[in-house]
Amino acid sequence: MPNFKIMKTGTFFEWTSELFIQNSVFWDMALRENDVNYSVSNEEIKKLNEQAQKYAEKLSLVFDEAHKVIVGQQDALQKILISIVSDGHILLESVPGLAKTLMVKTMAQIFDVNQVRIQFTPDLLPADIVGTKIYKSASGTFVTQKGPIFHNFVLADEINRAPPKVQSALLEVMQERNVTIHGDTFELKKPFLVLATQNPIENEGTYKLPEA
């Protein structure tokens, strides 16, 4: 099975409900220690559960649409969806042929956003991902040429085949959610998801990813 490095498992409704409960218990205990009268009413908890149920129903529709195209891969689709909702990213260790590109493309179609696949190679440059400025001789000016990172869903295939400077450029974009090209800063549109893959079998000609 593919190895996903992502947050906790479980259905989104279970994860959301558990998060609500944990937050309520934590704040209740913290405020009681400070002798502050505090209580969570049943009505507030009921509203939170109803909201979580509505989200779960909507996400269930997304799963139904995805399974019209992709057979199996329930765990993969679930964690991709969690990443989209939580505004996170995914690092997937798997061999070729497990429908990674198809999953990203399908999710992009469901959410009606654009997507792109970047094949990482040793000769790739940061400008190939984020973009650069091009000189137009006709007008005598520089024009910004945006890179593929400006798509909503980005499949970074075999990210460990690119040198560290390229990995660093991608990680910065993932963290800051904006791109700086020769002094000009551009914000990325939401949703923004990077699904990076690396082949756990072939290590020759690869660069180790940073652990932090």
pLDDT given for residue 41 in this prediction = 63
Tokens of 72: 């199996």
Report the DSSP beta bridge partners of residue 144: 133
CA-derived radius of gyration, the chain: 21
Long-range contacts of 8-16 (CB under 8 A, 24+ apart): 9/75, 9/78, 9/79, 11/56, 11/78, 12/55, 12/56, 12/59, 12/78, 12/81, 12/82, 12/85, 13/52, 13/53, 13/55, 13/56, 15/82, 16/52, 16/55, 16/56
pLDDT given for residue 1 in this prediction = 45
Q: One-letter amino acid identity for 103?
A: M
- Calpha distance 113→175 (Å, rounded): 20
Give average pLDDT by consecutive 10-residue segment, the chain, 212 residues.
Answer: 41 42 46 48 81 84 87 82 84 78 84 88 91 88 90 88 88 87 87 84 77 64
pLDDT given for residue 212 in this prediction = 60
- Calpha distance 171→192 (Å, rounded): 13
